[in-house]
Amino acid sequence: MKKHILLFLSISAVLLSCATTKNTAETNTPPTPPVPPVPSEEQVVFQDLAEGDSLFAHIKKGYCFGTCPVYEMKIYNSGLVVLQGTQNIDLLGEQKTQLTKDEMLAFVEMAKSIKYFEMEDEYDNKGITDLPETITSIVINGKRKQVRKRYGYPRELVSFEDLFAALLESHEWNPGLAKE
């Protein structure tokens, strides 16, 4: 009988310690951080890239043998724009700014008006070497399209690229923070 009582007490002690550990683990779980609100058109606020913010539009202008501007610009769904200026551009290094919903809508409208999603994925002539490469992309209704351009491209594509270039002059840019 003593063996049964001792066994019962041992099992009870193990079960109680497991339950205590489980409760402790549940109460020590860190709270989920709140998602920052997306600014309205009237209240445009510079913000950092939030977790889960996805890419809306992108341009990458490549090197050439001359003085072509070399940069990459990423526009996120929150309106955050991150620019990495590399060469032949006034804004060198990482820079950030914020777009309004109307400014982002201009990209969507331009893409639709030039039939961006119907364009080829690549316009190039590998026999010509001194041409800068430009890669653009946009996501509309969950569908992403990217176009790589060097040679033999439709002129309407330049209109889309000009929307990105206009942001360089029309917005106040803030230097990005150095990564530690």
Domain 55-175 is classified in which CATH homologous superfamily? Mago nashi (3.30.1560.10)
Q: What secondary structure letter does DSSP report for 177?
A: P
Q: DSSP characters for 65-120?
A: SS---EEEEEEETTSEEEEEEEESSSS-EEEEEE--HHHHHHHHHHHHHTTGGGS-
Q: What is the pLDDT of residues 75-117, one digit of tens each?
A: 999 999 999 999 999 999 999 999 999 999 999 999 999 999 9
* E strand or H helix at 9: helix 2-27
The percent of residues in the chain predicted with pLDDT above 90, rounded, is: 58
Structure tokens at 13: 């002690």
Average confidence score pLDDT of the chain: 78
Structural domain boundaries in the chain: 55-175
Query: Is residue 156 predicted with pLDDT exceeding 60?
Result: yes
- Across the range 19-26, mean pLDDT stands at 41
Query: Is residue 14 predicted with pLDDT exceeding 50?
Result: no
pTM assigned to the model: 0.69
